[in-house]
Amino acid sequence: MLRIDIISVLPKLIKSPFNASIIKRAIEKKIVEIHFHDLKDYASNKRKQVDDYQFGGGSGMVLMIEPIKNCIDLLKKDRVYKEIIYMTPDAKILNQKIANKLSIGGNLIILCGHYKGVDQRVRDKIITMEISIGDYVLSGGELPAAVLCDSIIRLIPGVLGDETSALSDSFQDGMIAPPVYTRPENFDNMSVPKILMSGNKGKIENWREEKAIERTKKIRPNFFD
Ligand code: SAH
């Protein structure tokens, strides 16, 4: 079973995505185990302090190294982790290839930053991998961590009902997925492409492939480089 430990100053911000739909089912099926850790519980001083002003001056608090190290050391004492990931905008951007790799790699620790981020020494000495979810800045690493977990968990065999479903999603085969339709067949003068109603599996497959190529050329031409 894959175990993911998420460390955050605001664990309540991250819990709800794990309480619904596909991810919830994966947890219930014991395919994945998620543990949330409140950084305050690992603070060294009596005031439960986890952040402080930055040296050199400037606005924004910085998460301190001590509570982070305390938490990660405790986790590492009990099991082996494949990666200790820090969610941060100034890192390589998450893609399907990274999600695939992490879905088969082993246990993960995910550290969520907040405010100005974490003390650089955490990144230099403790973190083994850094991931961004895009070139924009959010208030905390909680939503990015949820995005990362979702992208990983849905790829684990047994999580999606139809095993081939993840394989036919966009990016999985270096292509954007073809369009999909469902009932009603006609709506407001818009009808479903006839071929999908033909029952001819071979022709439908060919049509889907053509559409995938067409859409990829248009939306992500770089995939053909
Ligand atoms: N001062 C930092 C930004 C801090 S944002 C900088 O200029 O780079 C606060 C926290 O939100 C970060 O520590 C990180 O954990 C998270 N975060 C914000 N945007 C993110 C993104 N695009 N991807 C991943 N994590 C992000």
Closest by CA to 85, choosing from 6, 17, 25, is 6
Of all protein residues, the one whose alpha carbon is nearest to atom 12 of ligand 1 is 113
10: Cβ below 6 Å to ligand 1?
Answer: no
Closest residue by CA, ligand 1 atom 1: 116
Q: Is the pLDDT of residue 77 over 80?
A: yes
Output the pLDDT for position 172: 87
- Cβ–ligand 1 contact at 152 (below 6 Å): no
Nearest CA to ligand 1 atom 22: 89
Statement: residue 139 has pLDDT above 90: yes
17: Cβ below 6 Å to ligand 1? Answer: no
Binned at pLDDT 50, 70 and 90, residue 173 comes out as: confident
Protein residue whose Cα sits closest to atom 18 of ligand 1: 138
Question: 23 vs 18, 101, 139, 147, 158, CA distance in Å?
Answer: 6, 18, 24, 11, 11
Q: Give the mean pLDDT of 3-22.
A: 95
Atom of ligand 1 minimally distant from the CA of 86: 15
Buried b (16+ CB within 10 A) or exposed e, 38-68: bbeebbeeeeeebbeeeeeeeeeebbbbbbb
Spatial separation of the C-alpha atoms in residues 132 and 119, rounded to whole Å: 17
Domains annotated for the chain, with CATH where assigned, are: 2-153 (3.40.1280.10), 170-224 (1.10.1270.20)
Dist. CA 90 → ligand 1 center (Å): 7
Radius of gyration of the chain (CA): 21
Q: Is 89 in the pocket of ligand 1 (CB under 6 A)?
A: yes
Distance 115 CA to ligand 1 centre (A): 8
Ligand 1 in reach of 87 Cβ (< 6 A): yes
Helix (H, G, I), strand (E, B) or coil at 131: strand
At position 74, the amino acid (one-letter code) is L
For 21-56, the pLDDT digits (tens) are: 999 999 999 999 999 999 999 999 889 999 999 999
Among 192, 122, 183, 139, smallest CA distance to 10 is for 139
Element (H, E) at 72: helix 65-78
Ligand 1 pocket member 212 (CB < 6 A)? no
Ligand 1, closest atom to CA 94?
A: 23
User: What is the bridge-based pairing of β-strands 51-53 and 61-63?
Assistant: antiparallel
**CA-closest candidate to residue 135, choices 97, 84, 94:** 94
Asked whether 88 lines ligand 1 (CB < 6 A), one says: yes
Q: Is the CB of 85 under 6 A from ligand 1?
A: no
pTM summary value? 0.96
Q: Does 163 have pLDDT greater than 70?
A: no
